[in-house]
Structure 1
């Protein structure tokens, strides 16, 4: 949105709930004119124009864009009743300097299911009718797309052991090339996808599961929070958890067993007759969810310590 205030925008701000994006997330700009269905039930005027600060009912702070200093947040007095919303999709391991947010934030907005505004990386929806899901044709066994290669991370260390017992094709930086737009079509050819998170935290279940594995029609092999955490969001028979096996060798043996039995492999797709994954989320959808929740926001209060909650 332009930084120049015009009369039309001012008029709209008078009739709509104004939500100020203090920064564009990671400086990525996107259309904010209209919320897509089904997130268009509440009307907000979204703007990144700081001149609307005094009119805004809520200001959303994307953590990674303001985490260097308190000076990156407003220095002027806060209008009475204005909500300050703290927003992140990153894990606590990648969310530095939470402490200077203490007693400033009114509402939390994140992938955590106990956030005031819940903005997950994906979710399941009911099929309108029973659907006979067609499993994509498979010609390969195990794939992994990884951009952040840290040899000391749990996921890389687990991979280094797993690769001794089963063939794994790795795509991404310093590995096999992959055009972003072709990610799903490439992964769909694999029976299994390694949905390995870069850090282990409650509810931190990212696009690695929702978009890369489930939308591609590949069975996710997950490394992240415990199995019971995944089962809050997806059926127990829709994924394989590395913690279910005492060693990487035994996990590999199980995957090779499934590879030899179409009947056993297809059991991991039975849930798709009733449910379908939604994994192509976008920034605007997250903000539109905020718009809906803000209409019935709880009474004005502050979060004493983000550091203690966001672990």
Structure 2
């Protein structure tokens, strides 16, 4: 059967419209799907970006987000005030050093200098100690200079002294190995023999008694208390003229090696003649050929004879400086650094303990 021409034309038009409708539907559906996919993808990327930012931020906390460790300096040691905002200069962050006693209840540590409280127990903090707080006993003097240690029983948690076995070690000086062995050194010209600078003259003290015998056999120039005046400006220029320096400590006590050796003798390039703790104890800190110990001689007279011998033997005298090819002397960095070091060590010391007797610990080797 044959269709009429008009019907054929209508069929073509209908087919074309149907095709365009289907094509439009497919295009519209894909557009919606693609749009949803892109939006979803953007949301996922944004969320991932936010999560990554959060992770990065938490892995490297900002300095302002770190909770400060608060160290309360109960009294300025010897009344000497020093800067309290220098910890970042030493690479130590997150510390708040203060002398404001209103912060006592939140302080992680209270640093108490013994010489400033030793005559009155009431000069210690009187409020109850928070359970998280450390009391730190700070002392740089030997037993003969301080007193009233008994009143510290069961109060303190850490010690900070010149003794190496302290919780916080605070030496007067130390030796540090050189990164490269030194090539040579020049000893300043020496026109004089023996010097001694003494600030406190304790009659009957071992160093005074030894000096009184030694001076009978060798000439000694004494500066300081009851003797020649010497200003700090002229100190090193004056002492460097001497071949030997009497680094006599005011006490014979474990690890008590003060600026008399580290700064006075080594700083002025004079060979130190030491009186104090044992040679064995000195050699824990200083090479054995860097000093002369009075205990190496049977008497002050014998020591004097040895010093006079060295005065005439340049080669033998020079051997007392050979340590300078391998080491350099480092001096105590001062109270500002000490306070920051307290903060650092307290932060790293999670174990809480009490010192039942500071007296027993400090006097055990006397």
TM-score after normalising by structure 2: 0.79
1:40, 1:288 within 8 Å by CA — same for their partners in 2? no
> Would the alpha carbon gap of residues 192 and 155 (structure 1) be closer, same or farther in structure 2, given more than 3 Å must change?
same
Aligned residue number for residue 336 of structure 2: 284
Write the mapping of 1:127-146 to structure 2, written as runs, cut at 5 A: 127-131=178-182, 132-146=184-198
1:67, 1:96 within 8 Å by CA — same for their partners in 2? yes
> Would the alpha carbon gap of residues 43 and 224 (structure 1) be closer, same or farther in structure 2, given more than 3 Å must change?
farther
> Would the alpha carbon gap of residues 200 and 105 (structure 1) be closer, same or farther in structure 2, given more than 3 Å must change?
same
Q: Any unmatched runs of 5+ in structure 1?
A: 1-11
1:52 to 99, 103, 118: 103
More helix by share: 2
Query: Residue 310 of structure 1: SS of its match in structure 2?
Result: helix
Aligned residue number for residue 236 of structure 2: 184
Query: Residue 309 of structure 2: SS of its match in structure 1?
Result: helix
Q: Cα deviations across residues 61-108 of structure 1 (Å, max 9, x unaligned)?
A: 000001112210111111121000000000011121011111000000
Query: Residue 255 of structure 2: SS of its match in structure 1?
Result: coil
> Structure 2 CA distance, aligned partners of 1:291 and 1:183?
35
> Would the alpha carbon gap of residues 163 and 196 (structure 1) be closer, same or farther in structure 2, given more than 3 Å must change?
same
The question of 1:75 aligning with 2:116 is answered no
Aligned residue number for residue 120 of structure 1: 171
1:258, 1:264 within 8 Å by CA — same for their partners in 2? yes
Q: Cα deviations across residues 105-140 of structure 1 (Å, max 9, x unaligned)?
A: 000000011000000000111223222232222111
Aligned residue number for residue 323 of structure 2: 271
The question of 1:259 aligning with 2:311 is answered yes
1:42 deviates by 4.7
1:264 deviates by 0.5
1:292 deviates by 2.5
> Structure 2 CA distance, aligned partners of 1:203 and 1:240?
17
> Structure 1 CA distance, aligned partners of 2:192 and 2:266?
16
The question of 1:202 aligning with 2:254 is answered yes
> Structure 2 CA distance, aligned partners of 1:33 and 1:272?
35
1:18 deviates by 0.9
> Structure 2 CA distance, aligned partners of 1:281 and 1:220?
22
Aligned residues: 300
2:171, 2:332 within 8 Å by CA — same for their partners in 1? no
Q: Any unmatched runs of 5+ in structure 2?
A: 1-63
1:143, 1:169 within 8 Å by CA — same for their partners in 2? yes
Q: Cα deviations across residues 116-173 of structure 1 (Å, max 9, x unaligned)?
A: 0000000111223222232222111111000111221110110000001111000002
For the pair shown, the structure with the greater C-alpha radius of gyration is 2
Q: Cα deviations across residues 266-302 of structure 1 (Å, max 9, x unaligned)?
A: 1011111110011254222322322222221251110
Query: Residue 230 of structure 2: SS of its match in structure 1?
Result: coil
Aligned residue number for residue 33 of structure 2: none
TM-score after normalising by structure 1: 0.92
> Structure 1 CA distance, aligned partners of 2:251 and 2:324?
28
Query: Residue 287 of structure 1: SS of its match in structure 2?
Result: helix
